[in-house]
Structure formats: structure tokens, C-alpha cells
Amino acid sequence: MKISKITPQKKNKKRSTIYIDGQYAFGLSNELVAKFDLHEGSEIEDSLVQDVLLAQEKQKIRDRAFRILHYRMRSVREMKTRLLRLGFDENMVNEIIEEFLSDNTLNDKNFAQAFVADYTNLKPKGNIFINRELLKQGIPPKLIKDLMVSRNEKKLVKNFLHKKLQHFDLEDPKDRQKAIRRLLSRGFTPSVVYEVVSNNEE
């Protein structure tokens, strides 16, 4: 087989169309055209075509993963789940995940640290919420426990109570229950919530 023509695609200048023996064969990124040293007039074996198509599919998975990461960090489990739901081959997804782990593009410890920081400083939520969500993302319990040590949940409850729930009269039983429900709905530990609310009544 011979590559008869390589033409730039009109809608995407970063990709080219490959023709083999005068027939359309496949579209390919210019990066892979260069990587596989494809030229018009070159002979190409079936095995090389398969290697090229495999590399193209991996590049597609890699590009989609980077688009997902553009919005926020992801855990390994979350990334794998997202890619599989998009219909990508599991073996190829696993290979890309391994690449990302080796170059630190994916790092569950960094993800968990950022998650805890966000829900401590930017959008305060409780230990129960953080523990539940990180477990769902595949973060090891030991790592979660270690990260929680630095959190002063009682202080977070007090701050949220004073900044967001100051309109509640804690001496009024109805308002007190509303405040407690709001705090519990944010995943704060019940014992901490009741202790802080009780002390604020005094």
C-alpha cells in the first residue's frame, strides 16, 4: 500500500486527511503525521496503519482528559469513570491514566488537599460531607483522616453561624432548629453543631 495524498483539513488546520492507494483512509492530527513520518508516496503496511489508528485513539482520550481537567482537578477514579462513560476503550483509558499518574497530571493526594482546602476556605462544609465525597472519589480513608486533622470544624461552624445564619434567633426554638438543620445539611458533625449552637444560646 502507498500513501497517495496527504491534504490539510479545511475545518481544522491541525489535522490532515490521509489517502492510501487513491482512496480516503483516515484523518489524523499533524502531530501524529510527523511522529510516524508519513509522506506522500511512502509505502505503508497494515501493521503501521493499526499503530497510527491506535495512537490517534489514545490522543483523542488524552485530549478529552485535558479538557475535563481544564475545569478543575479530578481524582483518578473520577477521571476513569468520566472517560469510560464517554465510550472509550477501558484498556486505552487505563494506559492514559498510567501516563497521567507517572507525570503527576493526576495525583489523588493533591486532589484531596485541594478539595479539603476549597471546602474549608471558600465554601465551608463539614467533615461528614468531605469524608463522604472523597470516599466516593476513591481517596483512601487514611489520607482523608490525615487531611482532616488540620481542620477546626468547631471554628468553621461558629463562623458559618455568625456570617450566614446571623438572622436566626437561637433562643427561639423554631429558629434554633432551622439553624441546626442548615448546619447539618452542610455535612457538619452533629455533636459539633449541637455544642456550638447550645453555647451560642447562652
pLDDT, one tens digit per residue, over 172-195 is 999 999 999 999 999 999 999 999
pTM listed for this prediction: 0.83
In this structure, what C-alpha cell is assigned to residue 135? 470516599
Shared domain for 111 and 100, answered yes or no, is no
Q: Is the pLDDT of residue 32 over 60?
A: yes
Q: Which of 83, 46, 43 is nearest to 63 (CA)?
A: 83
Q: Does one domain contain both 12 and 38?
A: yes
Q: How confident is the model at residue 171 (pLDDT cuts 50, 70, 90)?
A: confident
Q: Residue 60 belongs to a domain with what CATH number?
A: 1.10.10
Query: What totals of helices (H) and strands (E) does the chain contain, helices first?
Result: 10, 3
Q: Are the beta carbons of 198 and 181 closer than 8 angstroms?
A: no
- All 3 cell numbers of residue 103? 507525570
| Among the listed residues 86, 23, 99, the one whose alpha carbon sits nearest the alpha carbon of residue 55 | 99
Q: Are residues 35 and 60 in the same domain?
A: no
Convert the pLDDT of each residue in 84-140 to its tens digit. Answer: 999 999 999 999 999 999 999 999 999 999 999 999 999 999 999 999 999 999 999
Same domain flag for 176 and 133: no
Q: What is the domain extent for residue 6?
A: 1-44
Average pLDDT, the chain: 94
Give residue 200's pLDDT. Answer: 75
**Any bridge partners for residue 27, and if so which?**
17
Residue 202 has pLDDT above 60, yes or no: no
Based on the fold, state whether residues 157 and 172 are members of the same structural domain: yes
- CATH number of the domain at 31, please: 1.10.10.10
DSSP state of 122: I
- Phi, psi torsion values for 15, nearest 5 degrees: -125, 155
Mean pLDDT to the nearest integer, 67-78? 96
Is residue 25 predicted with pLDDT exceeding 90?
yes
Whole-number Å distance between alpha carbons of 201 and 147: 31
What average pLDDT does this structure show over 139-143?
96
Whole-number pLDDT of residue 61: 97
Is 170 a residue whose pLDDT tops 90?
Answer: no
Total domains in the fold of the chain: 4
For range 145-173, the mean pLDDT: 92
Q: What digits encode the pLDDT tens for the residues 41-62?
A: 999 999 999 999 999 999 999 9
pLDDT range class, residue 201, cuts 50, 70, 90: low
177 shares a domain with 198: yes
- Residue 170's nearest CA partner among 180, 159, 160 is 180
